[in-house]
Chain A
Amino acid sequence: MASISIPIPLRERAKSGLLGWLATVDHKKIGVMYMVMSFFFFIAAGVMALLIRLQLAAPNLQVVDPNTYNQLFTMHGSVMIFLFTIPMLVGGFGNYFVPLMIGARDVAFPRLNAFSFWITLGAGLVMLLGFLFGARSDAAWTAYVPYSTKSFSPTVGMDIWLIGVILLGIGSTLGAVNFLVTVYSMRAPGMTAWRIPMFVWAMATTAGMVLLATPVLTAALIMLVADRNFNTQFFTTNRVQLWQHMFWFYSHPAVYIMILPAMGIISEIIPVFSRKPLFGLRAVVISTVLIGLLGFTTWVHHMFVSGVDPAIERFFMFTTMVIAVPTGVKVFNWLATLWGGSLNLKTPLLMCIGFLGTFVIGGISGVMQASIPIDQYVHNSYFVVAHFHYVLFGGSVFGIFAALYYWGPKITGRMFDEKLGKLHFWLMLIGFNITFFPMHFLGLQGMPRRIATYDPGRGWEAGNLIATIGAFILAFSVLVFIINVIKLRRGAPAGDDPWEGNTLEWSVASPPPEYNFLEIPTVESDRPLFDARMRTPHV
């Protein structure tokens, strides 16, 4: 690996201590703040999930009253999506690792980057504090009109929720611009398209999707705020589907915004821990971009029973099913990467295997629901709840923990306790499946989502009780992770490259110094560090 010297830009040296964090424009510190913030929101929304599961553990329970229950599932969904999964993957890992992986000293617009973080945190606090002090929305994260209009949701909680999501949209749109410019213009010399790491490809695609999709949601939200407060008539009766179109035009791509970075993460980890190159690198890149594009053509599948014209529905059934092809290509390429490899079964790889094993179930049930007749049965049922948790927990959250175990040593300079890591993995895998697999059957047995309770005798008792038990196993697994993070202080030193990594972040110290690279490296392949290791004899 050759390198060239570019002087470190003249910028005020970073301050230390609290002010160093508050005033920082360093992509790594901003990345860490995103991660800490997101993890906090993950815990908050997880506690809400536990309350939801407690309430449903048996028929006609009253752990919380129905009103509170409805507020809880509204907030659980909103926080998990907008304040945990997206900021953790995009703001957290994207910020920290995109510049490092492309050999850059920071993102293109460091101050804009800091602004994105603070507006995201501000929006999160608006939503969560509003919730804690009683200004709560109960319109579900989908906020369908007319339920979310002034007539049916008269309280200020709805406005607080809307304003929170508008602010978050601004934060992520600005972040997307930053990532696109960074990846386009700041790659190290020699990093041609096919040498860009998969995680960076995924992040660039994600940023493109955020940039195209988020403004539509923001517009819809502003229109609803105006309807509620200034008597505009955007979403009056007879136009109930307008909201659904605008909402899902963002919120279906949002699923890919949450899964593509996680796919990028496991595309990095699997080759490293198999000691093999990613099988069919170009096919994985192309399928990533294709998923990003096709992701914009499927939103009406959320509306198959809303009253859309049947011919249009068939078109969207087709596009929705087609997206399974590039997704399948990725899954088989990951399996082929593992095949014949030398698998180092440490926690990061285990989490990737958890991703593959559970995500595929969500992928399959996704194709099933894409079929209009099947959707006319399972739509809005617990089958759907099972499906999207297999995609977003089985996929995104396993991917997030894979990244935390993989990159944690780089960020902190310390190694995680491997035994606790494995315990975390197994508890999470088992707890996850016990929680969400029975929900498929509940949905098929006719249980709708978003119900605060149910009568006995519908065949839903056993499945719900099992799911609740699973949820607590899942919660316990997260506790094990937290203990592992606390123990990190006394962890073994990580060194520059504990995993024999492939990409540039492993060429610098752990944690990386300010401005990352003393000399900007020159890249000659898609695995610069692997090649460098091969050239130098083993010590």
Chain B
Amino acid sequence: MVLKTLFPKNTGILIYDRLYAKKNWLLISIAILLITVVLLPILILGKIREENIIIGVVEIFIIVFINCIMSFNYFHDSKKLSYYVSKPITNIQKVNINIITNIIFTVILLGILMIISNYAEMYFSMFEIYKLIIPWLLVGILISALSCILTGNSIIAGISTIINFTLPFSFLAIISYMFKILEDVALGFNADILLSNFVDNYYRIDYLYFYRYIDNKISISYFVILIILIIFVYSLIYFLLKRRQNERTGDFIVYDGYKNLISVLIACLAPIGFLTIINEGDFISKSISFFILSALSYYIIVAILEKSFRVSKSSIKLFAVFMIILFLFIQVANIATNSYENYVPNNSDVESVYLGDSTHIYSKYLEEGVHISNLDKDFMIRAEDIQVYTEKENIESVINLHKEIIDNRSFYNYGRIVIAYNLKNGKMLIRYYELDVNSESYDGKKDDAIKPLVNSEEFKKKTFKFIYDDEYANNLDINNIIIEINSSESTEVFEIYKDEIDLDKFRNALKKDYDAYLATNNNYLDLARRGRYVERFEQNYKQKDTIDTYEIVTYSIGIYNQSIDKYKKNSENLTIDERFINTVKYIEELIKVKQQ
């Protein structure tokens, strides 16, 4: 019964007739493929390469796109529409026959490309490409049919097909900008973290566009998603076709709802694009710019779609509603995030904490990295080489730093801070801050808050393993140590072999000097979030004075192992200066012996 409604009795013959009517177009398409993918590459290169196959794929997309618009362009011409609709075959049946005809047309082209690819120099399987392009083409054919129904003009139908196909990305761009707004109004929220979390957990665009399956095996989800997509788009075709007002043929868009959607979409995307390129200004100036650009782009798109410079009252009302919703979103987001942005967990609730300066955390030990939004307990435990602290005192230090950041966002250096709490209830609490590096009011409380952490054994062992981690150091199979002495006048390099150095003595000297360095260095926050040596004699922002680093003699120490250690490293680099007196004294002794 359903099939009878969707297809006429002689569907097969009608499809054959439509295909026959397209025979010239099909022959030209095949000729284009053969000339550009086979003939020309063989003439010029002597072989068919994989990039030629990729060109073929692009050509198929273009050919199928044009072919679909041509098949459904009777919706855009009053004469054609009257002719075809007046025939004793329902609208949905006509659309179905055209869809099937286009699918067969596409299958023929893909089949030819598949045959060609057998003779091409390929570094990947054609099946890998087809996993992506078959659903794209299939859904694309349906979307172009839908777009032709929605519009009353073929050029607009073409544009609309592209807009509809990329609609999930447009929504993502808008959501991303909403997160940017949230980042501006809510302290500690980061648009990238929010977006990444949103995309990874809720808005699975990788499934929707099937690119997830490029490097993965096809699973049942692939077919389920494809079927859901086909049913969804086809349902839209079915219901919209029933409600199509054919008398509006010639208008750019024949459905007011869709026209409104496109207008609001453009009114969002145009200012988002512009403001993303500029990426300057504070929240107020960005908001005003957004409103002005949004109003301008809305007026232009409505004028184009209505073919009139007079904007109707309903359009003005729609824009007003859109702006009110946006304003309400900002207000609600502001209120809703107030309680979150000032929240700092209790020490007793925290199992461990990560402190860093980047939203991407890479563990050389694991040889894998995660975006901060995906940081979980498992990674924090497994990645032994990242700055994760579990000791109560150190967690307290990070909490104190966190509280200080909430109270005062000023800082004296490149001010990105990421704090990720692994809570005992199994949840993660992630905060991202961009501190105000131009602030004049910095009073150094952040350094004070984090000083205990920098001087803790946990920090020292994680950051300077060769010096503080005896087990690690004793297991190293050291080959040689290269010392580079840099002064304003000269650079000298010395190579010391394992049997020429007393490693315990060397490490003890370093330990004494580093203890002093970590106890007195003013840049605790930099040390903590970067987890490495901070050049001590560079500009000291805290004290607002500058020391000429060229006057200082520095020692770069490279410790080279015979094999790769457990952290996947085969060397350790340390930088000290002439104030590391114990180490410098020992190095001078070593050089003296070496020179004798």
Q: Are A and B associated in one complex?
A: no
A-side residues, CB < 8 A to B, are: none
B-side residues, CB < 8 A to A, are: none
